[in-house]
Amino acid sequence: MRPGGAVGGSGGDRTPGADRTGGAAGAPRASTAVFALLGSPVAHSLSPAIHNAAFAAAGLDAVYVALACAAASVEPLMRALAEAGGGGNVTLPHKAAAFAALDRPTDAARATGACNTFWAEDGALAGDNTDVDGFGAAARTLLDPWPDDGSARVLGAGGAARAASYWLGRAGWRVVVEGRTPERVAELVGALGMPAVRAAGGEAAGCDLLVNATPLGLDPADPPPLEDARLAEVGGVLDMAYAASPNALERAARERGVPYADGREMLVRQAAAAWPRWFGRDAPIRAMRGALGDAT
Nearest one of 170, 95, 176, 84 to 128, comparing CA atoms: 95
List the catalytic residue out of 51, 94, 95, 198.
95
Torsion of Cα atoms, 217 then 220 then 222 then 226, to 10°: 50
Distances (CA, A) of 5 to 61, 88, 109, 124, 178: 17, 16, 22, 9, 44
CB-CB neighbours of 79 under 10 Å: 18
What is the rounded CA–CA span in Å between residue 115 and residue 178?
24
Contacts of 190 (CB under 8 A, 6+ apart): none
User: How does DSSP classify residue 230?
Assistant: G
Does the annotation mark 94 as catalytic? no
Alpha-carbon dihedral 280, 132, 134, 105, rounded to 10 degrees: 20
Distance between start and end Cα atoms, the chain? 28
Is the bond preceding residue 145 a cis peptide, omega within 30 degrees? yes
How far apart are the C-alpha atoms of 150 and 38, rounded to whole Å? 35
Give the integer Cα–Cα distance in Å for 9 and 146. 45
Contact (Cβ atoms closer than 8 angstroms) between residue 94 and residue 74: yes
Query: Known catalytic residues?
Result: 95
